[in-house]
Amino acid sequence: MPSGGARTRPARAFGVLLLGAVVGSTAYLLVITVTPVLADRFLAGSAWLGLPNASLIVGVAVGAPLLSRLIPGIGRVRALALGFLVAAIAAMAAAVASSGSAFLPFVLCCLLLGAGHAAYHLIRYAAALLVPPRRRGRAVGLVVWASVVASFLAPALFSAIERIAGAGGVSSIALTFGVAAALFASIAALFVRSRALATRRAFAPARPDRVPRHPRLTEASGAPAVPRADLVVAVASMVAAHAAMLVMMTMTPVQVVAGGGSLTGLGAIMGAHTLGMFLLSPLVGYGSDRFGERPVIAVGGVFLVASGGLGATAPLEAGFLMGLALYLLGLGWCLAFVAASALLSRGPDTPAKVRRQGRADSLNWFVAALASVASGLLMNRLGFPAVAAAAALLGFIPLVAALPGIARGGFRRRG
């Protein structure tokens, strides 16, 4: 009979990953908050103000497949730790660059920081390996939920940073990057030193004796390999939902301010969007486990379409309707993203699966960068109704992609 320590070790390992997700999300919130402010100091009024943020997004897109390629050779723990270490070094370099006058080095720091932060986005796949297949969605949902905790920690850290910067006569932006660097480095140290993670077989480097003998079965659980159709649904739904969210969310502040809305009202609208994205993610994961990933993805598509339609038709001054539209937008993204991630976590944990997950995240973030650019172009040429309509059209993709599987297999119920 296994000892109590052996029985609890998977839970401890999951707790370490969840703590890493909370700290990583907090550090990234610090970074993305001050990056536009620093960009404006470098290039006030320039059309290139969005370049640092775009570099962060492109960095994630580049880093995800690179880290995924390292996982079979050095193991998940070391690959994730390496990513966070790169992010820490880049954040410290950004702190130094913030006190200078050269814009390009800062952009390169953002690109490298994004590449390292890709480790945060790969944590959800690692968490799914620690639980039985019937709990895979819940594991992904809990990791996504970490951003809710981060949304409370980041403002508290900003308050402390402002006090320290004021007393010490240092730049608050440089100090913010320094704190982010310390947080990223702490995750790398935590992962490398964690015995709970080190003893998990699934996180070790791949060896020939760990490759399943039967190509369609996992060695441990006998879970079937993932049909190609499910992979297509997962990737298409994740990418389309993320693009729909970014297209509409990016231009919402512009629309609200143009309608005479206050910053307080805008904060409430964006807060509703954040709650929609993260607050219910554990329940979304539970729904994926109980009813199947495809039905949850389809419901996410419905919410995305409804959000775009509401945003396109809401009067300019209707703050409540805009808040509702942004909440539905976040919830639709959550449903599609969590369920699609759970779908990508199915099947044998082979190097091919790890590469597939990295490529999916890479495509997701490359398209996200394009969506951010397209959002501004649509807003400039056709106005916010066209932006919201584009989000609605993108929302049809997960809905249409998931429906055939639902029609064939119905709802999968689990006890």
Answer yes or no: are the C-beta atoms of 206 and 351 closer than 8 Å: yes
- For residues 234 and 128, state if they share a domain: no
In a domain, 415, yes or no: no
In a domain, 209, yes or no: no
Domain that holds residue 21: 1-204
What is the pLDDT at residue 44?
65
Which residue type does 53 have? N
**How far does CA 274 lie from the centroid of its chain?**
12
What is the pLDDT at residue 118?
93
In a domain, 217, yes or no: no
**How far does CA 247 lie from the centroid of its chain?**
16
**Positions in the chain whose pLDDT score sits under 50:** 1-8, 208-224, 413-415
In a domain, 212, yes or no: no
Q: CA 75 → CA 22, 91, 99, 197, distances in Å?
A: 22, 25, 37, 11
- For residues 200 and 344, state if they share a domain: no
Note the pTM of the prediction, 2 decimals. 0.79
- For residues 142 and 184, state if they share a domain: yes
In a domain, 213, yes or no: no
- For residues 342 and 240, state if they share a domain: yes
What is the pLDDT at residue 357?
85
Q: Enter the tokens of residue 289.
A: 């486990």
Angstrom distance (rounded) from CA 240 to CA 17: 27
What is the pLDDT at residue 181?
96
DSSP code, position 134? G
In a domain, 180, yes or no: yes
What is the pLDDT at residue 334?
93
Q: How many CB atoms lie within 10 A of CB 201?
A: 10
Domain termination site, one of 204, 238, 273: 204
- For residues 67 and 134, state if they share a domain: yes
Give the tens place of pLDDT for each residue, 103-153: 888 889 999 999 999 999 999 888 888 888 788 888 888 888 888 888 888
- For residues 31 and 102, state if they share a domain: yes
Q: How many domains does the chain have?
A: 2
What is the pLDDT at residue 209?
46
- For residues 367 and 261, state if they share a domain: yes
Which of 32, 53, 28, 33 shows the shortest CA–CA distance to 43?
Answer: 53
Residue 72's CATH number = 1.20.1250.20
Q: CA 123 → CA 18, 84, 104, 216, distances in Å?
A: 8, 11, 30, 25
Give the tens place of pLDDT for each residue, 343-393: 888 877 777 888 888 888 888 888 988 887 788 788 778 888 998 999 999
In a domain, 35, yes or no: yes
DSSP code, position 75? -
Angstrom distance (rounded) from CA 227 to CA 214: 15
Angstrom distance (rounded) from CA 226 to CA 59: 29
Which of 315, 311, 317, 312 shows the shortest CA–CA distance to 260?
Answer: 317
What is the pLDDT at residue 290?
86
In a domain, 93, yes or no: yes
Angstrom distance (rounded) from CA 74 to CA 210: 14
Angstrom distance (rounded) from CA 272 to CA 319: 12
What is the pLDDT at residue 9?
66
- For residues 179 and 63, state if they share a domain: yes
Buried b or exposed e, range 89-115, using 16+ CB within 10 angstroms: bbbbbbbebbeeeebeebbbbbbbbbb
